[in-house]
Every structure is written in C-alpha cells, then in structure tokens.
Structure 1
Amino acid sequence: MTVVSKSSSAAFLAFAGLFLWACQPQTLTAEPSEIDSSERTAVGSFRPLGRYVLTESGGYQMGWPASGLALTFHGKTLTSTITDSGEGIMDLSVNGQMSTLELGAGTNRYTLIESPTKQTFDVKLTRRTESYDTGLFTIESVQSDGEVLPTPAPKKKILFLGDSITAGFGLHGDTKDCAYAPKTNAPLQSYAKLAAGQFGAEVQLIAISGRGVVHNWDDNPAPVMPLQIDSALPDNGEQWDDNLFRPDVIVAALGTNDWSVQNPGMEKFRLGYKNMLRDLRAQFPRAHIVTVSGPLLEGGKREAAKDGINWAMNELRDPEISTVDLTLSETGLKWACQYHPGRDSMKNMANQLGAHIADQMDWTYPAIQMPIKPQHDLADDGKKVFTERLSEIRELPELRGGTLLAGDSITQGWRWQKNLLDGEISNHGIGWDTAVGLHARLPEVLRHRPDQMFILIGTNDIGYGHTAQQVAGPVKSFIERASEVTPETKIYLQSILPRESGSLPLVQTYNDALKSVAAETGVEYLDLTANFAAQDGTLRKDLSTDGLHLNEDGYKVWADILNPIINSSHKPD
C-alpha cells in the first residue's frame, strides 16, 4: 500500500491562530508520507453518501456522482484509504472549503487534513467523475488521530433519476464550446444538489450521462436509466437495499437523450415513461414524484417529451405525481461544456425545482440568490450600460411608499424629467435592457416597498429577435414574485410604446402577450398606444427625439396618464 498526502499548496494556512483551507480550490497530489504510530484506524466511522456495495474487506465500493463519505472529527490528522483505477477525481470539503483530490491507481492512503492543533472538522469527500469515464472506487477506511464524532443523516431525503444534467456534466466550463474532460464535471453544483442543499436534504444522484428512458444518446446500447432504479452501482447487477434510503421526494429528470438525436417513437416513449413511474411508485409508495421536462430540448422535441410525460401521468392518475418545466438562465453563465447548462442555469433550475417541491411538500425553500448579470446575448455596449447603471440603482435608498419605475432607457429617461411625476420616485430604468434583464434584477426591486410600480419593458427585445413568449415569460415571473413579496404594491404593466413602422407588427404581438400576462397575474394593464401613436401607428414625431425615445413633451403626456394613478393612492397623514 502506498501512502500519499496533499501537497504543501493545499495545506492549512495560519491566520489569527486558526487553520483554514485556502479560498481558491486546490488539488491534492500524491507525495510520500509517514503515518504516526499514535493514529488509530476508524473503519466504518464515516457516514456513506449515496449508494454503495460492501466489499469482503469491509470497504464501501461506490460509483454514482457525488457518492462518498461524510464525517466530523476532532483532532489534527485525517487520512483515508481508497482503491481506484487511477483516473478518479474527488471533491473534498473541509468546513465548507473545497479542494480536489486526484486519485492514484491501486490502494493508497491520502492525507485529507493535517493541522498543527486539534480542531473540529466537518468533512465530505465525494466523487466528481462518472463511472463510465473513470470506473468505480472503494473507500476502504478512514484514519484519525482524534475523536470521530456522530454525523446524523438529514431527515429529508430526495432521490434523483437523471442524465448528464443531473450529474453536473462539464459544469466547470464557462462556455458551450469548451472541451469536455472528466475534471470539468461538478455534481455538487448541479441543480439537484443545489436544490436539495437548500432544503438541508440528503440526496442520491442516480444519473449517467447520455442515458434515457427507452433510448440512449447516440444509440448507446448500455442500460437505460429505469433499469438502474434498483442498482447499488452504475450498470451493475448488485441490488440496492431501499430500506437504507427512503426518499420523501423522487425527481425523474429524463427524456432529453431519448429525443435529442432521433425519434424513439412516441408510443414507446409513453409506455416506457409510464412503466418507470409505475416502478418508482411500487418501490416508494409514500414518496412524492416530480417529473421534469427540459431544459435542453426545443421545439417539437420538447413538446414530444412533454407529451409522453403528461400521457404517462394521466394514465396513472396518481395525485402524488407532479410535473415542472425547468429553464436555463438567460444571464450569467448560461452554458457549460458541450451545450450543457452552466452554473447560473443550474441555480435558476434549482430555484424552479425547489419552489415546486416546497409547494408540493409544504417545505420551506430559501431561494438561491442569483448573480445580477446582463443578458448573455446583450451587445457589449449594453452590458457596460447595464453594469454601470445597476451600480447606481443599488445605491438608491429603500423606498417605503411612493412609486417605483421599472424598465429600459425609456423609463430611465424620467431621471431628466424629475418635476413631472408626483411624489417620491425610485427609477429602475436601464438602457438597452430586455425582459430577461429586468427579471434578473428582481432582487434589487424587492428591496423596496412602493405604493405602486409601473413596468415598461420589451422594446429592446425586438432588436434581438426574441419571441413574444421570451418577453412575456420573464415579465410574468417578475410580476408573480413581486406580488408575492410585496402584496401591498399595486402593479401596473404598460404596453410597449409605438416605434418605427417596420417594428409595429412585433410591437402588437408583444403587447397582446403582455396584456394576457396582466390578466393572468391580476395586475392592471395600461395601454399607452392611443396617447403616443401617430395616424400611421408609429411614435408621434412631436413626442420623440428619434422615433423610439421620448422628448420632454412625450414625458408630459406620459405623466398625465400616471399622475392620477399615483395621486389616487396617496393615503392621508
């Protein structure tokens, strides 16, 4: 047996008498190390994470993403003996600080912690790479010079049945064009682990990249995922004992690989999905099952997958099966390697799934705070304006009462017309912004508690060729969340202003969609068209500087519409 330890670059750093991991992720490399005779072996003292098979020697053989160990100990030194192919990569968390452990071939001992003073450490060591890339691994034992403390399992439990999206494929990449390598995987940053983490739930990721319900990506003949429901290890005949992990919630996030390359046949997919749900229910009669569609399928393929899921659910008529659509983030890191969801998309998906589970299970879900970034396809000048103007908005004092204006450059223009609107005004207009961008900065809006909020957004989406749904969807979500958090605020959704003749058909399409959003969310729709349109439907020249933006007279017309609403909400002192 070879003894290895971490390199000095990953050693604990001394600061004010405390020893902490370096803030930047580190890689633990193999170096010779002597084991002190005072160390005592603590075989089986850790809590296994994920499914496993006990070996004849008492080790835990594992293979699923994010499987590994958790333990708490008080001491100076912690090591673990692991058997691996020599290609596996582990994620090591020590008191929340992350580092990377690249395993050597064969059975080796790895120094995970080495501290000059005794301290209490919470440790998780989990698999980053998938079994099809790097094979299985076995945690033979852990050794500590101190006291290993009890590590009770969380009460809530969630089981995920999924593919590469659930496994965190390529998540360490920042673009859809980055080259995949096993080290780019990040199951701990997948939507599944993020959502479960917000609930404080223990999770099992039964996920393999490229697998489907009835058909795998690229005609891979390996077993499809429903055949893995009982498996203790990926693609292995060893059966898992369900009594060791009884999930409260099961998330079935499959279908992308069935439809991404070729049509598996609707009837075959429907029946396969129905059988999968039936088998899950038979094994876990008390669990709530969530079916997931998206987020990578588009158009007809997306609709086909949803059709199969809905058909299966209708056939079973199980009240404890629900469904949710997950969507990518349009801001920040939308993509990871090879067109997989990026890290911000994973956060967005986790929030959507978490909110759905919370509603179904009556659990509390504190949403993950998303970074506020401009839409990914915004022009460079627009991104610059977004960033600079957002900094200004963050400096605005919190509004209690008064009026909040949310929108793009047309709304931002009120800054130079300060005497036209009555009462206290908080201007959240950002030039170049789109519906997605407005939704992204919802957290800044929710700092305030205005009497009324006026929303005007969408005209910039025309230049990016966005569909009406790409405008209406984020606006609807924005209103629903704002209404939930600030129910005392009266929200008004305004129509997009007229503009040049070539854009008028799309303006009308957008406005029809926005009017429907207002009706669906119960807010008032203000149609500004009649006040600003010339006889040919374009923006009146006497109210505009360039056929798109308003001049002072235009803002006076707008003020005449808004001020009666603002004044009607004033409460007596």
Structure 2
Amino acid sequence: MKKMVLTLSLILVIALVGCVQEESIELLVPGNFKVVDDIVSFNEVDNATGYRIEVLNQETLKVKKYLVDNNQDLKGLNFEPGNYLIKIQAISNKANYKDSEFSGEIMYQVEDDSLVSLIEGILLTDNTKVKMFGRYFYNEREKQQYFYFTASGFEVKFIGTKLIMNLVTGINSSEKVPYVVVFIDGEEDPTKGETHALDNGINEIIIDGLSEDIHTIKVLKRSESTDSKTSIKSLETDGYFIENEPYKERKIEVIAASSSAGYGNLISNGVGDKTTANSDGLRSFATLTAKYLDAEINIFSASGWAVKKSPWHGNSNIPNKYDYVDVESSIRWSFNNYVPDIYVVNLGTNDWSYINTLSNSSERQEALENFINAYVDFIVKLHNLNKDASIIIVYGLMNETNIFEATNDVYQVIKDDYSEIDIHILQLPKANLSDGMGAGSHPGLVTHEKAALLLSSKIAEIKNWSID
C-alpha cells in the first residue's frame, strides 16, 4: 500500500513538472514602431520568428493582417489610397513562446499618386488638368505654356482653399503691359473678375480664402498678342487638382484685326491713344457673341493686319500667318486642337488704309482686286481646313465704307463659284460718338454690345442654336 502511494506521488510530481515546463513565454511587443516614407521599422524581439501588422482602414473600418519584415516598403502591399491605423506584434513558432500583444496604433496615410498639387513643366500640357483656351504652345526649353491672342488663357479645377499662379511676360512698355482677368467658380462677367496687370518677368497671383471645396479658376487675357506675350510657369494649390469639365459643344472662331481685340474700347469720347489699360478684348463683340451663344471662342486677330497688305505690316498678313500659333511666331498651330462650328471673319479695314495711300485710281483698283482675290483664297482655305464649318463675313464696325462693295464682292464670288461653302455675310453697326467712341475711331463698349447681339442672332439662325 505504501509502495502504491509513493508511485502515485511520483506520477503527480512528474505531471506538475511537465505543466511548468510547457507554460509559454510571451514575446515582448516590438518597440520603436514607426512608418516613415512608407518604410515600416521597429526593434526586433528575441525569439520572434516573424512580425504581423494589423491594419484598420479608417474609412471602410475593414481590418486586415499582414506579415512584414523590418524595413519593408509597405507600398508592396498595394493599399488603396486613404488613412489607416496600424499596430504590430511579434510572433513565434518556437516551443514555449507565444505571440506578443499588439503595440499601440500609429497613423499611416497612403496618398493617391494621381493627385497633383503642383503643376509645372510638362504637366502644363495635360489638358485634363490645365484646360487651354485660344492658341497655345509649350516651350520645352523654358518649361512654360504660352497663350497668345485675346481671350486666350486657361482653367483649372481643384479641391482646396488656395491657388498660386506664376505667370510670365517679357519686357513691355507701359502702354503694352498685358492684362489678365481671373474668374472664380463660374463667373463670366469680366467686370466682376479680378483684373491683373502683369509686370515684366514672373508674376505671382494668389487666390486664397476659398472654402475647403471644389473650385474652378479661369484666367483669360484681355490684351492682344502683338502687345505682349504671356505664359504659365506654374500652378499650385494647397489641395489637389482634379479633372476639368469638358469644353462646351459649340465652338466659334473669330479671325479679325483690332476691333475683336477690344482696341481702345474703354475710352468713351474717342480721345486718347490706345493702350492695354484702355482696351478690353473680353468685352469685344467677339467674346460677347460667344457668351450669348454659350460657345467656346478662339480669336486670331492683330491690330493693323490685313487680308492682303496694310501700311503698317506690308505683305505680312493674316492669311499667311494663320498657320502659326501667333502672327509673330514661326511655330505651327495644330488645327486639330480647335475645330470650330463657324468662322467669323472681319477683315478689310487695314487693307483700305493701304489702298487709300495709293496715288492713282488704277493702282487702287488693282489693289482692290488683289484684296478680293486674297480674301476669296482665304475663305476657301478655311473651308478646306474644316469642310463642316459655316463661314460668315462681317464688316462695317470701322465704317470702312470704301471697301464695303469689295467685301460684298468676296461674298458673291464664294456664293457663285464655291457652292459647297456655307457662306454668309452681315453688316455690323458702325462706331459712333453717340454710343461712345473708342480710341482711334474704334467702337466703344455700347457698339460692341450691339454688334454682338446682332451677330449672335445671325449665328443662331445659321446654326439653329438657341441664345441665352
């Protein structure tokens, strides 16, 4: 009996010793746990055979676990963009050791690589982020996006409270300083936009104090290209840029001289020379017509330029510069960038200014015939570039009565000899003192308004468009 008791006691002792030997040791929690530039790091733990992180997506509240190594790049785990809370534990498959508790949580943010807060360099050519208006060209050497004619410019859409724009212009005389107007969140009235005169060099324009929301900023040039050149150096927001809205369906192109650029139209008494300060192309008949028709506008114009020849620019004329981004450029424009539904052509005043300098009637008659032929050739060229577009010749704003007949002859030649061209003609109201005369006998604001109402009505009739 005594022997049996001893045997049972021995078995009990062995069992107790076994229990003690089988009790697992909990690993230490990894210390100094952090994620810097997507690299996870921590103090390694003795007897750990691996490490596990638990990741909580703060938006979806979903939890996932991953095995990681020290100094591992978490980008390889392909997290969706968002904010996460991460904690870590040491794990072991060794006998007599068990996994540690999880550490405290740390924040980990995964940014969307497609989100951009700074647009500069080649990114300026991304038309989904920087929507360009008018003719434009990216200069690779200067890393700047140039925009040229009146009403050219750009638009960006972003989420944030601030936009910083660095715009560049060259060395300009005081009367040729370029002006741009900034339109915020859909504003279209140039009198309600922010007007900025650009100094020589880089100009920083800051639009801030906006709500933390989606915003659109449009910047349009109210001056003309022959006065000064302008470009975008960089665009930056405290949030990020998002994709712009598509262009409007309706598209108009105006090919003209000074009036479409708003030459001196802020003068009301006809007294004084034209400057960029007293000229607002965003309030010209061309841009107003586009506004009334809710259409995009692309203007190709230059003061003093002619169809054939002018006293100021000789044989350098609109038709032989039309293929380029600017009348003073040798860089070719891609016509695929803008395909208008209708061309509005307003030329002839400067041709007459040259013709009027000729000494005898035979010379003037020959020059008029050259004008007609050049104008017809240009209309045919426009049609060949864009066979689906309508074309309307307009005249009369400058009261250029001596060339009215020749202008109507251009229309008639096209009508008679080129039946495939959808050609139209319209006489616009003339500049006059009772409506307020601009600089150099150019139309003032009231005349531009009247011309725009008449022209938009005519275009609506031609294209079967409604008018706002």
The residue aligned with 1:76 is 161
* Aligned equivalent of 2:435, options 301, 309, 333: 333
The residue aligned with 1:88 is 178
Q: Give me the CA root mean square deviation.
A: 2.2
Residue pairs, 1:7-46, within 5 angstroms: 40-43=117-120, 44=124, 45-46=129-130
Q: For 2:254 and 2:274, how far apart are their aligned partners in 1? A: 23
Q: For 1:227 and 1:261, how far apart are their aligned partners in 2? A: 17
Cα 1:331–1:210, aligned 2, differ >3 Å: closer, same or farther? closer
Cα deviation per residue 1:237-276 (whole Å; 9 max; x = unaligned)? 1111111111111111111111135346221011101110
Q: Which protein has greater RCO, CA pairs closer than 8 Å, 6+ apart? A: 2
Q: For 1:198 and 1:116, how far apart are their aligned partners in 2? A: 29
Matched-pair contact (CA < 8 Å) for 1:328–1:348:
no
334-343 or 274-283: which moved more? 334-343
The residue aligned with 1:259 is 352
Matched-pair contact (CA < 8 Å) for 2:309–2:316:
no
The residue aligned with 1:347 is 449
Structure 1 unpaired stretches of 5+? 1-38, 367-573
Aligned residue for 2:196, secondary structure, equals strand
Q: For 1:185 and 1:154, how far apart are their aligned partners in 2? A: 26
Please state if 1:130 is matched with 2:190.
no
Cα deviation per residue 1:255-314 (whole Å; 9 max; x = unaligned)? 111113534622101110111011111111111111112122344333333334433443
The residue aligned with 1:245 is 338
Cα deviation per residue 1:57-80 (whole Å; 9 max; x = unaligned)? 543112211111112333211011
Q: For 2:315 and 2:163, how far apart are their aligned partners in 1? A: 38
Please state if 1:288 is matched with 2:390.
yes
Please state if 1:144 is matched with 2:221.
no
Matched letter for residue 338 of structure 2:
F
Q: What is the total number of aligned residue pairs between the two structures? A: 325
Residue pairs, 1:170-189, within 5 angstroms: 170-189=264-283
Q: For 1:177 and 1:314, how far apart are their aligned partners in 2? A: 43
Aligned residue for 1:115, secondary structure, equals coil
Structure 2 unpaired stretches of 5+? 1-115, 172-176, 357-363
Cα 1:158–1:323, aligned 2, differ >3 Å: closer, same or farther? same
Percent of aligned pairs with the same amino acid: 24
Cα 1:281–1:324, aligned 2, differ >3 Å: closer, same or farther? same
Matched letter for residue 269 of structure 2:
T
Matched-pair contact (CA < 8 Å) for 1:89–1:100:
yes
**Structure 1 residue 196, shift from structure 2 partner:** 0.8
Q: For 2:272 and 2:237, how far apart are their aligned partners in 1? A: 40
The residue aligned with 1:470 is none
Matched letter for residue 137 of structure 1:
T
**Structure 1 residue 321, shift from structure 2 partner:** 1.2
Cα deviation per residue 1:16-65 (whole Å; 9 max; x = unaligned)? xxxxxxxxxxxxxxxxxxxxxxx931343221111111111543112211
Q: For 2:443 and 2:267, how far apart are their aligned partners in 1? A: 10
Cα 1:51–1:193, aligned 2, differ >3 Å: closer, same or farther? same
The residue aligned with 1:16 is none
Matched letter for residue 90 of structure 1:
V
Matched letter for residue 160 of structure 1:
V
**Structure 1 residue 189, shift from structure 2 partner:** 0.6
Q: For 2:338 and 2:315, how far apart are their aligned partners in 1? A: 26
Please state if 1:157 is matched with 2:251.
yes
Q: Specify which structure has the higher proportion of strand.
A: 2
Q: For 1:68 and 1:303, how far apart are their aligned partners in 2? A: 37
Q: For 2:411 and 2:421, how far apart are their aligned partners in 1? A: 15
Matched letter for residue 46 of structure 1:
V
Q: For 1:46 and 1:348, how far apart are their aligned partners in 2? A: 33
**Structure 1 residue 219, shift from structure 2 partner:** 4.0
**Structure 1 residue 332, shift from structure 2 partner:** 6.2
Residue pairs, 1:406-445, within 5 angstroms: none
Aligned residue for 2:435, secondary structure, equals coil
Residue pairs, 1:475-486, within 5 angstroms: none
* Aligned equivalent of 2:372, options 261, 270, 279: 270
The residue aligned with 1:53 is 137
**Structure 1 residue 180, shift from structure 2 partner:** 1.6
Q: For 1:362 and 1:304, how far apart are their aligned partners in 2? A: 29
**Structure 1 residue 120, shift from structure 2 partner:** 3.8
**Structure 1 residue 170, shift from structure 2 partner:** 0.8
Q: Specify which structure has the higher proportion of helix.
A: 1
Matched letter for residue 392 of structure 2:
V
**Structure 1 residue 352, shift from structure 2 partner:** 1.2
The residue aligned with 1:235 is 328
Matched-pair contact (CA < 8 Å) for 2:284–2:448:
yes
Residue pairs, 1:485-524, within 5 angstroms: none
Q: For 1:132 and 1:229, how far apart are their aligned partners in 2? A: 14
Matched-pair contact (CA < 8 Å) for 1:177–1:337:
yes
Aligned residue for 1:60, secondary structure, equals strand
Q: For 1:89 and 1:222, how far apart are their aligned partners in 2? A: 29
TM-score (norm 1): 0.54
Cα 1:274–1:116, aligned 2, differ >3 Å: closer, same or farther? closer
Matched-pair contact (CA < 8 Å) for 1:266–1:308:
no
Cα 1:298–1:209, aligned 2, differ >3 Å: closer, same or farther? closer
The residue aligned with 2:33 is none
Matched-pair contact (CA < 8 Å) for 2:135–2:147:
yes
Matched letter for residue 335 of structure 1:
M
* Aligned equivalent of 2:205, options 93, 96, 110: 110
Matched-pair contact (CA < 8 Å) for 1:51–1:240:
yes
Cα 1:200–1:116, aligned 2, differ >3 Å: closer, same or farther? closer
Aligned residue for 2:309, secondary structure, equals coil
Matched letter for residue 403 of structure 2:
K
Cα 1:108–1:47, aligned 2, differ >3 Å: closer, same or farther? same
Aligned residue for 2:355, secondary structure, equals coil
**Structure 1 residue 141, shift from structure 2 partner:** 2.1
Matched-pair contact (CA < 8 Å) for 1:206–1:228:
no
193-202 or 294-303: which moved more? 294-303
Cα 1:331–1:118, aligned 2, differ >3 Å: closer, same or farther? farther
Cα deviation per residue 1:124-179 (whole Å; 9 max; x = unaligned)? 21222223222x22112211112333232111111111000111111121122233
